[in-house]
Each structure stands twice: as structure tokens, then as C-alpha cells.
Amino acid sequence: MGSSMSCCGTEKVEEVPTSFGAVNNSWRIFSYKELHAATNGFSEDNKLGEGGFGSVYWGRTSDGFQIAVKKLKAINSKAEMEFAVEVEVLGRVRHKNLLGLRGYCAGDDQRLIVYDYMPNLSLLSHLHGQFSLEVQLDWKRRIKIAIGSAQGIFYLHHEATPHIIHRDIKASNVLLNSDFEPLVADFGFAKLIPDGVSHMTTRVKGTLGYLAPEYAMWGKVSESCDVFSFGILLLELVTGRKPIEKLPGGVKRTITQWAEPFITKGKFRDMVDPKLRGNFDENQVIQTINVAALCVQSEAEKRPNMKQVVNLLKGYEADREVTRTRIHSIVYNDELLTQDEPSDDEGGGTNSYGVLNAIQVQKMHDPYKPSDIK
């Protein structure tokens, strides 16, 4: 994509027809001057947050559109590759549950990607961040977010050409529009999979706590890795807990380690986020937890594909009612867990290139205390 990305000041517009509903149907190349003006000179007052990738700013274009601008802070080979991959993938995908490309700017020393601004920020900000105490996510919204996110990932795996593996499904990469419709975001780590290829071996990218075991240990990436990550996300949505939580004494525990005994004993109600105050559909909770348990099976071949996940969450596969599923939690060794420190500590930074991953640097509030099953 080298030559097409070099004309930062061009006003080229490319129309991209779509049939997926309320999705942007065009993107264009922005000038740096235009984005500078839209963000008030990349003002601190406009900053949504920052991370290892750089900073994300809120802006308003001259024609009135609210945008989020990701401004990379370093132009090295790693950042250049992830920028190119994200622009490439964003230019291909068209689905109501995927964050589309509004445009980009690529000058001699600047790399910026422009998206629609999501007023409700990320799922992470509502589960663990600045909005967590406001409890805007009732059960109906949570199940809508689960199904919508699953539909977006299903599109990547089964309808996009070539198929796309996201490789970084997590709460901070699920953005929420004004109606709390979810849009899966951040394609900097994505892999395009040629026809006939079932898996690839690659350098491990992503976020500890969401990584499938075969990927974390051997670098083997497939669509099933996204399924595992989505299973963790489902558990997070239902329980309100973090994928990895720190216990007294510095010991860390994964959400699957916490959930496994509850699921084994069928104590599903005890798993639900207490902030919901008992206001949820118990049958949907049981179904969602059991779908999550299927997704986080340690053996990739035992996991469902995303088409099956969508149908199970919607209740379409009545003949395949999900029964209680035992999960065998993977245990990260101490060396891996120490790598989780930057994102686990309050106010810690992140080395990933999430669209609004900067939300992670907001002061986090954890309303839970570790408890044992009685």
C-alpha cells in the first residue's frame, strides 16, 4: 500500500457500497492540517487517552462529523506494519458490528487513522473503568452486546474475503455507539487467511487473559483463537470480572479459574455481576455461560465456530441445547503473568495498538473482593 498512503494532503474519496445497514459507505485520505484543526491542535482537552501506540483524540470535522483520531507516536517498522494492516482490513470490512474506516493520513513522519467517534466509548469503560459505577449495562444491553459482537466476528471468519482472524478480541476493543450497539474494533493484529488454510504459525500478539492456549504456547493462530477470546469476553460480560484479577499477596487468578467450580456445580446465579441486583433472564444467563464454557475449551477442536456461537446465543439451535460444560482452566506461568503488569495495575499503560485502548489508563475501580464458593 506504499504509494497510495504517501499523499497525506490529497482529498481523494473512495466510495464503497455496502448492504449491511447503518455503516459508513465511504472513506477518504485526510490532510494533517485538517485533522489538526478537527482536534483543536491535538489538544490535551481533546485527548480520549493514550497507550503504547500513541494517543487517541476526539475531533469534529468541518462538515460536523464527530471522529476519533488515532495518532501513532513512533514510526518504526512495527508501527508501520500494524498501521498498514489496520488500514487494509478496515478498508475491506463492511458490517454494522465492525468499526469502519472513516479515513487516514500518512505523511513523511505522521501516521493517523480516523474512525467514527463512539459516544459510549468501550465495553471496558463500562465494566471496569470510568462508567462502571453508573451501571448503564443492564442485562438486555449485555446480551445485545454479546450477540452483536459475535455477529461481527462471524462476518470476519465466514463472510469477509479473504477470511480474517482478529487476534485481539477483548473488552477494550468492543466499542459502543449511542444506542449501545457494539462495534468490534482494532485490526492492527489481524491476519488475513487465504482460502484452504486452516491455521498459521506466527509471533504471538494480543492480550494475556484472552489468549487461547495453543496460540500463547506455540503461536498457532486460527479462527478458533478468536472463539476462545470471545468466550472470555462472554464470561466478563456476565460476571463483571476482569480476565485476570490480582488476589491478596500478589497472586493472580484467571476468570476461567474463578468460574470453573461455579459452572461444575451449576451455580450460575452466583456468577452474575452483583451490580445487576438480580435483574436478569436466568435462562439467558445459563445459556450464555454454557456457550462461554464451550468457547474456552482448552482443545481448539472442541470449540464451536462463530456461526454456531451466534445461533446458540440467539437460541436458534434448539436441537443443540447447551448442557452444562466442564471447563479445564489453563494456568499461566509466573513469567507470563508478570507481563500482564502494565495493563493490570491501576493507571498502567499498554503496548497494544487499540483504537480506544487508552480507556485502559483511566483509574480503574474493582468493586469485588475475592470470595470462595461455599
End-to-end CA distance of the chain: 58
Active site (annotated) includes residue 195: no
Structure-block grid coordinates of residue 106: 500518512
The rounded distance, in Å, linking the Cα atoms of 320 and 305 is: 14
Helix (H, G, I), strand (E, B) or coil at 72: strand
Q: Which of 372, 355, 358, 287 has the alpha carbon at shortest distance from 125?
A: 358
Q: Which of 24, 46, 23, 49 has the alpha carbon at shortest distance from 35?
A: 46
| Whether 208 contacts 336, CB under 8 Å | yes
The rounded distance, in Å, linking the Cα atoms of 98 and 20 is: 10
- 194 burial type by CB count under 10 A (0-12 exposed, 13-18 middle, 19+ buried): exposed
Q: What are phi and psi of 142, to 5 degrees?
A: -65, -45
Residue of 168, 226, 273, 340 with catalytic role:
168
Quick one: which H or E segment has residue 308?
helix 306-314
The rounded distance, in Å, linking the Cα atoms of 131 and 2 is: 40
| Whether 359 contacts 129, CB under 8 Å | yes
* 138, 165, 291, 175 alpha-carbon torsion, rounded to 10°: 0
The rounded distance, in Å, linking the Cα atoms of 118 and 184 is: 11
Within 13 Å of residue 164, how many CA atoms lie on the same side as its CB? 28
Cis peptide before 119 (omega within 30 of 0): no
Q: Which residues pair with 59 in a beta bridge?
A: 67
| Active-site amino acid positions | 168
